[in-house]
Structure 1
Amino acid sequence: MTTAFGLDFGTTNSVIATACGRTTQSVVLNTPVGETDTLRTALSFLKAGAQSLSVEAGQAAIRQFIDNPGEARFLQSIKTFAASPLFQGTMIHGRRFQFEDVMYAFLARLRDYAGEGALRTGPGRLVIGRPVQFAGNNPDEALATERYNAALARLGFPEVHHVYEPVAAAFYFAQNLDRDATVLVADFGGGTTDYSLIRFESHAGRMTATPVGHSGVGIAGDDFDFRIIDNIVSPAIGKGTLFKSFDKLLQVPSGYYANFGRWNQLSIFKTLREFAELKKLVRVSLEPEKLEAFVDLIEHDEGYPLYQAVSATKMRLSSADETEFSFPPLGDAARRTVKRSEFEAWIAPEMARIEEALDDVLTSTNTDPDDIDKVFLTGGTSFVPAIRNLFERRFDSDRIAAGGSELLSIAHGLALIGERDDIEDWTAKAI
């Protein structure tokens, strides 16, 4: 029987699963920093000679980047550029990399970590997930598909299929359905939130699915992290403070703090003209100690530890009503108790857009919430209580599936779909 590979190429994490005879398993990746079945979607490039580069992915990429400050080029959230016509490539140690080059570099390293377990050429069928709506303003889905295909072609698989990520999650969860059902899957990743509404029915012992509708929005967990930074850390390092310019008082440009959208951007910021301008503002600031703390944070490459502290805080708020945020390099200035209610107020604009996307799929398909038999939440951000509360408010709690497979369900669903004879009926093009 032909093995099917399911590849969940995520904004934050990526997973490979295999299926053979309706049995699935995650592929264990042997990386330089240990074994894992979930790899951070990140790359690091380090010169290894005049003509070669040392490329690492996941946590190994993060370690290489931190261990070689100023020498390693780091990329993360690669997927967010897939549908952007504005992204025309990036220079990495004197070489221009297009999106497909970067994506393939990540997949090739993923394949290396998998050993003989996955992503090797042969008779296997590769099924890759894609979001309902790609991240970014005015995303070009045709361009994203073209770029995906260009990268995937280099892996050498005779068959490559694209399936919507929430459809894959729905298929995985539907294996446990004991009756026909209309299912809503909400997939909350790092960069996008996607919804799929699907009708599952069994005919002569074979499950069929009828797509009802889809919707999505380019907002998810990364935006939640940024809200913590923006409300706790940025004010402690000078956001909103004033400086003297001749006889005027002006506010420190807020654009400096937009670099916190991705932690690795802070290292890039260190090389830009804006950082030199920021250091000059210290001398004329009314609160120079705050800008000095900002400068120190950049010069000592504290971006990754900072985001670890932010992520840990968000995770603790998933099970506690309040927790303490602290980041030792900033001392007491950034130490404070964070209440879950505060955090939920900070992310309220994002939650509103996430709910609007939910309304879109219900309205566009003329579906009453009472007509939905089961709701499946998947993706790491689905652990955030505000997300759970949104769905418990809109649907009966007994229709919302219990957690347990939030991080792996898409890859396993993709692999299961890859085994089907009617796979064309499940692909993004058909749906």
Structure 2
Amino acid sequence: MARALGLDFGTTNTVVALAEDDDARLVEFTGTEATGAVFRSALCFWEDEQGWNGVASEAGPWAIAEYLEAPLDSRFVQSFKTVAASPLFERTTIFNRQMRFEDLGRLLLQKLVRHAGGQLDDRPARVIVGRPVEYAGARPDEALARQRYDLMLREFGAEVHYVYEPLGAAHSFAARLTEPATILVADFGGGTTDFSLVRVAAPGAERRCVPLASTGVGIAGDRFDQRIVSQLVLPLLGKGGQYRSFGKVLDIPGGFFNDVADWSRLAMMRNRRTLEELRKLQRDALDPEAIGRMIALVEEEQGFPLYDAVGRLKRALSGADHAEFAFEGGGIRIAADVTRADFERWIADDLVRIEAALDAALTRGGVAADAIDRVFLTGGSSLIPAIRAIFDRRFGAERIATGGELTSIAHGLALIGAEPDITPWEA
């Protein structure tokens, strides 16, 4: 069988797997900064005469290392997948260089290939790309996202196919099963939560897996991060404050605060127009020091340290009843004890919407909860106790399976690519 490549381009991480016949293996990256098979979906740019148009760049964990070496002289971009379907995003300016979504994505893939130690030098016959069931963002444009993905991937493989991400995870999980089963896959990514129902035949069947239904919702790990930032950080940046305009005292619009809480948009705020608007707001604000802290957060490239602090808090609360949130940068210093109950209260409305998407998958597939043999949870947010509790309550802990939270989608996508006919899987 011709070689196939499974690409899980995620909001937070990107993972690649290669398949020959019925076997698939993850691509392990090489070098001092490598983190196994997980490649952070991040880019760092800095001015360098030897770079293209005077700008050099890195991606993945190497982007993080470059940023940490000189944060004030670089631009760090992460979670940009969340704008794939947004007609509001056209391009961002990085050191006077205009970059569209597909430019960022193509650069990420070029760096990923270079850090794969030759494993990806040969162009694969098939590339199977995971896509969310529902794209993130308000009023997402699916056709626009596909157009941008096509441009991003045009040099990556000769034949590109799109498959829902949870179906990739389902195919990976099916490889573990020794008996027929109806399975539910719940994929908790950075930008979206997706569900797929799949009927799995016994090993050796001509067609091992049959997809039944898929649903999704644009809520996942990044939204949970936004809730934390909204509660602990934004009040210090002027959220809920007021400003003077033509003799009136008005509430500060929420747009700037929404941008700060969204990692993909925070990275884009460091531009002349936005900073000029913030300085004008600072002059008119009743609490100018708070707006000054927001300006410093943006100008001093504090997005990654803030993101890192939020991630540490979430991971800690997955294993303990309370944890400390600690962040210092951009003139802001926060040390707060946060309980798991606090966090679960902040994301309660999000959990309701996630559970509604789960119900929609069962309804669309015509499968009752008690007819589900196994539930496979994947993605980093599947480790959050409040998430796990939904499935324990609905299906019973004995039917829940986990493992390969960051790698199962790419592994399964590669297996799909090795099949003679992948048409039934295409989105």
Per-residue Cα deviation, 1:273-315 (whole angstroms, up to 9, x for no partner): 2321344257x43xx6655554544454333212211110011
The aligned residue for residue 103 of structure 1 is 105
> Which of 272, 277, 280 in structure 2 is aligned with 1:274?
277
Note the C-alpha offset of 1:201: 1.4
**Aligned-residue offset at 1:319:** 0.8
Count the aligned residue pairs: 422
Q: Distance in 2 between matches of 1:96 and 1:306?
A: 26
Distance apart, 1:65 and its partner CA: 4.0
**Shift in CA distance, 247/315, structure 1 to aligned 2, threshold 3 Å:** same
| Per-residue deviation, 1:346 | 0.3
Deviations 1:168-209 (A, max 9, x none): 100100111121111111111000111111111137544422
Superposed, 1:66-77 pairs within 5 Å as 66-69=68-71, 71-77=73-79
**Aligned: 1:147 with 2:148:** yes
Q: Map residues 63-102 of structure 1 onto 2, 5 A cutoff.
A: 63-69=65-71, 71-102=73-104
In structure 1, how many angstroms separate the alpha carbons of the residues matched to 2:18 and 2:91? 32
Q: Distance in 1 between matches of 2:4 and 2:185?
A: 23
Tell me, yes or no, if structure 1 residue 366 matches structure 2 residue 369.
no
CA deviation after TM superposition for structure 1 residue 102, in Å: 2.3
- Pair 1:188 & 2:188 matched: yes
Deviation at residue 134 of structure 1 after TM alignment: 1.6
Shift of the alpha carbon at 1:83? Answer: 2.2
| Secondary structure, counterpart of 1:334 in structure 2 | strand
**Contact 1:193–1:216 at 8 Å: present in 2 too?**
yes
Q: Which residue of 1 aligns with 2:128?
A: 127
Match of 1:60 among 56, 59, 62: 62
Alignment of 1:11-410 (within 5 A): 11-30=11-30, 33-49=33-49, 51-69=53-71, 71-118=73-120, 120-121=122-123, 124-155=125-156, 157-202=157-202, 205-241=205-241, 250-263=250-263, 265-266=265-266, 268-269=268-269, 271=272, 272-281=275-284, 284-285=286-287, 290=290, 293-329=293-329, 334-401=334-401, 403-410=402-409
SS for the counterpart of 1:318 is helix
Give the drift of 1:367. Answer: 2.0
Root-mean-square deviation (Å): 2.8
Q: 1:118 to 1:289 in 2, by over 3 A?
A: same
Determine the C-alpha separation between the residues in 1 that align with 2:255 and 2:87. Answer: 23
Equivalents in 2 of 1:161, 1:332: separation in Å? 46
The yes-or-no answer on 1:415 pairing with 2:418 is no
Distance 2:25 2:64 in 1: 26
* Closer/same/farther in 2, CA of residues 368 and 280 from structure 1, 3 Å limit: same
Could you give the per-residue CA deviations for residues 346-402 of structure 1, whole angstroms, max 9, x where no partner exists? Answer: 01121111111111112223321111111111111111111101111211211111x
Q: Distance in 2 between matches of 1:184 and 1:115?
A: 36
Looking at structure 2, the residues matched to 119 and 217 of structure 1 have their Cα atoms a distance apart, in angstroms, of: 36
Q: Is this contact kept in 1: 2:293–2:332, CA < 8 A?
A: no
In structure 1, what is the Cα distance between the partners aligned to 2:318 and 2:76?
Answer: 30
* CA distance in 1: counterparts of 2:377 and 2:47, whole angstroms: 42
| TM-superposed deviation, 1:12 | 1.0
Q: Secondary structure at the match of 1:24?
A: strand
The alpha-carbon deviation at position 212 of structure 1 amounts to 1.2
Question: 140-149 or 64-73, which moves further after superposition?
Answer: 64-73
* Secondary structure of 1:114's aligned partner: coil
Structure 2 gaps of 5+ residues are none
C-alpha deviations, 1:66-99, integer Å up to 9, x for none?
Answer: 5455654443222222223333334444444333
State the distance in 2 between where 1:292 and 1:99 align.
Answer: 30
* Matching residue of 1:7: 7
**CA spacing shift, 1:332–1:263, aligned 2, 3 Å:** closer
Q: What percent of counterpart residues are identical? A: 45
The SS at the match of 2:162 is strand
Contact map agreement 2:80 2:264 (CA 8 A) in 1: no
CA distance 1:332–1:70, change in 2 (3 Å) = closer
Change (3 A) 1:150 1:246: closer
Deviation readout 1:393-417 (Å, 9 max, x if unpaired): 211211111x221110001111111
Write the deviation string for residues 5-55 of structure 1: whole angstroms up to 9, x where unpaired: 211111111001122343332212235634532111122333433735322
Larger mean CA deviation between 107-116 and 359-368 belongs to 359-368
Distance 1:257 1:166, change over 3 A: same
**1:339 Cα deviation from its structure 2 partner:** 0.9
User: Which stretch shifts more, 43-52 or 303-312?
Assistant: 43-52
Aligned partner of 2:278: which letter? F
Report SS of the residue matched to 2:233.
Answer: helix
Give the TM-score normalised by the residue count of structure 1.
0.88
Looking at structure 2, the residues matched to 69 and 332 of structure 1 have their Cα atoms a distance apart, in angstroms, of 16
Asked whether the 8 Å contact 2:327–2:333 carries over to 1, the reply is no
**TM-score normalised by structure 2 residue count:** 0.89
The CA deviation at 1:244 is 6.8
Q: Is the 8 A contact 1:269 1:275 kept in 2?
A: no
- For the Cα contact (< 8 Å) 1:187–1:377, is it kept in 2? yes
